[in-house]
A and B are shown apart, each in its own frame.
Chain A
Amino acid sequence: MSKCDLNIDVHHLTRVEGHGDIHVKVKNGKLVEAKWQVVETPRYFEAMVKGLSIDLAPILTARICGICSIGHALASFRAIERAMGVEVPKLAQKLRLLAKHGETLQSHILHVFFLAAPDFMNVGSVLPIVKSHPEVAALAVKLKGLANDMCDLIAGRTTHPVSIAIGGFSSVPKRESLESLRDRIKETLPEIVTTAEFFKTIPMPDFVRETEFVSLRGVNHYPWIGGDLISTDGVVKPENDYLAMTNEYVVDFTTTKFTKLSRESFAAGALARFNNNHHYLYPEAREMAEDLGLRAVNHNPFMNNVAQIVESYHVMLESIDMINELLDDDFSDVRAAFEIKAGKGVGAVEVPRGILYHSYELDDTGVVQKANCIIPTTQNNANIHHDLPELVKLEVSKGRSEEDITKLCEMLVRSYDPCISCSVH
C-alpha cells in the first residue's frame, strides 16, 4: 500500500444531468472520506402536484426530467389509471411501450456516446470526437435521430410528451408513418451492432462490489411497464408495495434522499434489469451481451454502459415486432372512457436509469391529495456513495495517481447515468 495523500474535490461533476460533487480524502494511504454529495436545488414536485386536477398531474410530473419525460408521464398515467380503475386498451398499451422504447434508445445513446464515451477516448466532450472519429459520431447521430423521431411520432414530442392521455392516447400515428418507422429501425440495426463492436475495443474499468439489484420482474418478456418488483437478493414484492422495496430516507449532507433494501444500498438501471431478466432479452441481444463480456449477475457498475448498449439493441428488435403487430390492428380502440373517482394508485415503470415509481391519492373530484415519486437515481445515489470508498481503496492500493483516481471516480458516477435533478425533484 502506497502512503499517498489525496484531496479530490469535484465541484459540479460534468457530463451528467444535474449537480453533484465528489469529495475524497486519503491520508497516508488510508481512506478518510469518500462521498457523493448531491447539491441540486430541490423543486418539491410532491408538493407542487398537490391540489392539481388529475389531467394536469402527468403533464407536471413529466417535467421532473428533461431526458425521460415519457417514462415519468407513463408512471404518472399508470398510477392515476390504477387509482380510478381505468383499463387501458391493448393497442394503447402497445403504443405506450413503443414510445418508451424510443425513449430508452434515445437516453441510452445520449449517455453512451455523449456522456460516457469522451472518458474512454480521453477528451472533454463529444465535440472533439466529431472531428477525430466522425464515423463514431455518425453512429450516435443516426441512432439518436431515429430514437427522437420515434418518440416524436408516437408521443407527439420527445421531451414532454403531448399525445398520451388518461385511458390511452389522444392522438395516434398514421399507419404509413408506423410502417416507415419500422423500416427505418430495421435499416439502423447495423449501427447498433457497430456500436457494440466499437465498445468491445474499450475495456471497462475492473471494479467489482457485490450489490443488490432491483428492477421489475419479467413475465415472458423483458419488463418495462408494471408488474412485480424483484431483487437479486431474492426479494419479490407486488407493485403496490413499492415503499417496502425502496425504504426512502432523508440524509443530512445531500439534497437527494437515499434508499435501501436488504443491504445498505442497492442499484437500479440497465444493469439491474439485465441481472434480473437477461433470459427475456432477444437472442441477438443476449449474444451481444455475451460478446461484450456481460454475464448475469454482473457486479461491476461500469458494465451499466454495456448493458445500455445491449438494451438498445433489444428495444430496437422488439419495436420492429411490436409495429408489425400494431399494423394488424384496426386502431378503433385507443382510449378507454373513464369516470373520475377517489382512489389510490401506484405506477412502476422501468425508465432508462432504472425503476421509477409514482403514486397518487385522488379525491372524488379528481384532485390530487397526496403524491409520491421515487426516482431511479434517488435509488442509485446511496449505491454510488457506497461504491466510491471501495473504488478509491482499490485504486490507492494499486498506487494510482490523484488524476487517475479522480477520473475513475467521475467515470464511476457517470456509469450510473445519473439524472440528478430528477433524483432531487
Chain B
Amino acid sequence: MKYLGLGPQKPKVGVFDFTCCEGCELQLANKETTLVDFLSLMEIVNFREISSDKGDDYEIALIEGSISRADEIERLKKIRERAKVLVAIGTCACFGGINSLKNRYPIDEVNREVYGEMPKETLEVKPVKEYVQVDLAIPGCPINKAEVERIIVDVVTKAEIKFPKYPVCVECKQHINTCLFDLGQFCLGPVTQAGCDAVCTSGKMGCLGCRGPFEAPNFEAFFDIAKEKGFSKDYIKERLSFFNAFSEVKDV
C-alpha cells in the first residue's frame, strides 16, 4: 500500500491472550489471500501463539480473552502502561464472553465441579474494560477477519474508524435469507450490532448476540414479538446472556 511512492508508517503491534480459546488470534493468521499484505501493514513484535519474538516496544496492543485470575490483571496493566493504543479483540475481551457463564455459580462450587478437592485459583470473569482503559473494541466470537483488516488499515492510515449503525438483520437480508423467526427459530439478529456478515444466520443458526447491541435497539418491541412467537422469558434470557454482551438489559 503506497501513496505518492511512500509506504505507511508501520506501527509495532503486540498480540496478547488471556482467558480464551485463542480463536480470535488465529483469525489474524487466516484469510490467506490477503495475509501477506495485511501483515506488511505492521511490525509484529510480540505474538506468542505464532512467534518466539517477545518485544516490549509495541505501540498497539491487541488483547484477546476475558480476565479471570490475579496474574492476568497484573499482566494486563503492564501491557496498558506500555501500549499507546489498547484494542480489545473478540467477545471475551469486550464483554466477558462465554466465560461469564461461570459467574452464574459461586466460585467454590465451580471449582469443586471441575477440580474436586484440589481447587485452582480463579476470579469472577470480567471484560478487559473493567480493569484498564480500552481505546477500541472489536467484538465477535470469533472476530471477523475482514472487519479487523478494515479497522487495522484505518488505524494505520489514521482514518476514522466506523462500525455499522444497523443490526445483523440488515446483513442477513442482503444474503436473501428467510427470517429464522419464520422458520420457528429464535434469533437476536434484530438487536445485535452488524459487521459479522450474518454468518450464523446464513447457516440457519439463530444469532446469539456475540457482538452486543447495535446503536438503537428497540428491546421492548423485540421481546414482545419474541414472546408472541412463543418464546418464554427464560428462553430469551438464556440466549441474551450466552455471551454476556447484553448485560445492560436487566429484564426481558
* Bound pair (A, B): yes
Chain B 147-180: CB-based contact to A (< 8 A → 1; otherwise 0):
0000000000000000000000000000000000
Q: Are B68 and A43 in contact (CB under 8 A)?
A: yes
Rounded to whole Å, the gap between the CB of A278 and the closest CB of chain B is 30
Q: A14-B52, A66-B25, A69-B23 are in contact. Are A44 and B122 (CB under 8 A)?
A: yes
Residues on A with C-beta less than 8 A from B51 are: 14-15, 124-127
Would A51 and B32 count as touching, CB distance under 8 A?
no
Complex alpha-carbon distance, A147 and B39, angstroms: 20
Known: A46-B114, A66-B22, A69-B23. A41 touches B36 (CB 8 A): no
Nearest CB to that of A13 among chain B residues? B48
Whether A48 pairs with B242 at a CB distance below 8 angstroms is: no
Residues in B neighbouring A127, C-beta threshold 8 A: 39, 44, 51
| In the assembled complex, A145 has its CB within 8 A of some CB on chain B | yes
Cβ of A50 < 8 Å from any Cβ of B? yes
Name the residue on B nearest A11 (C-beta).
B54
Contact of B203 among A148, A156, A255 (CB under 8 A): A156
Distance, CA A139 to CA B48, complexed state (A): 23
Q: In the bound complex, how far is the Cα of B163 from the Cα of A85, in angstroms? A: 45
Q: Which of B49, B72, B110, B203 contacts A44 (CB 8 A)?
A: B110
Q: How far is the CA of A354 from the CA of B35 in the complex (A)?
A: 29
Q: Per-position contact with A for B64-98: 1 when CB-CB < 8 Å, else 0?
A: 00001100100000000000000000000000001
Specify the chain A residue showing the minimal Cβ separation from B235: A53
The answer to whether B113 touches A163 (Cβ under 8 A) is: no
In the complex, which residue of chain A has the Cβ closest to the Cβ of B99?
Answer: A43
Give the nearest-CB partner of A65 in chain B.
Answer: B21
**Chain B interface: which of A56-64, A212-220, A234-242, A305-313?**
A56-64
A51 to B113, CA, bound (A): 13
In the complex, the answer to whether B109 meets A47 with C-beta atoms within 8 Å is yes
Interface residue stretch chosen among B100-108, B131-139, B216-224: B100-108
Assess whether B120 is interfacial by the CB under 8 Å rule: yes
List chain A residues, Cβ under 8 A from B20: 66, 421
Q: Is the C-beta of B199 less than 8 angstroms from some C-beta in chain A?
A: yes
Interchain CB contact (< 8 A) of B142 among A42, A48, A145, A159: A159
Q: What residues of B have a CB within 8 angstroms of the CB of A141 in the complex? A: 32, 35-36
- Shortest C-beta distance, A16 to chain B (Å), equals 8
- The residue of chain A having its C-beta at the shortest distance from the C-beta of B177 within the complex is A171
In the complex formed, the residue of B with least CB distance to A141 is B32
Is A165 positioned at the interface, with any CB of B under 8 Å from its CB? yes
The answer to whether A63 and B98 touch across the interface, beta carbons within 8 angstroms, is: yes
CB of B153 to closest CB in A, whole Å? 19
Question: Quick check: is B226 within 8 A (CB to CB) of the other chain?
Answer: no
When distances are taken between beta carbons in the complex, the residues of chain B under 8 Å from A51 are: 104
- Known pairs A42-B120, A60-B98, A162-B199; A66 contacts B21 (CB<8 A): yes
Chain A residue, CB-CB nearest to B186: A55
Q: Are A125 and B141 in contact (CB under 8 A)?
A: no
Cβ contact within 8 Å between A255 and B102: no
Report the Cα distance A5→B145, complex, angstroms: 47
Question: Which chain A positions have C-beta within 8 A of B142?
Answer: 66, 159-160
Report if A158-B30 is in contact (Cβ < 8 Å); known contacts: A14-B54, A59-B208: yes
B204 x A114 contact (CB < 8 A): no
A422–B51 alpha-carbon span in the complex (Å): 20
26 pairs from A and B in contact (CB 8 Å cutoff): A15-B49, A18-B22, A41-B69, A44-B122, A47-B114, A48-B99, A49-B101, A52-B101, A52-B238, A56-B242, A59-B242, A60-B242, A63-B141, A66-B25, A66-B142, A124-B51, A125-B50, A125-B51, A130-B39, A142-B32, A157-B199, A157-B203, A159-B30, A161-B203, A162-B204, A421-B21
Residues in A lying within 8 Å of B, measured CB to CB: 12, 14-18, 41-44, 46-53, 56, 59-60, 63-67, 69, 110, 114-115, 118, 124-127, 130, 141-142, 144-145, 148, 155-163, 165, 170-171, 250, 252, 255, 421-422
| Top 4 A-B residue pairs of the complex, sorted by shortest distance between their CB atoms | A66-B23, A156-B203, A125-B51, A162-B203
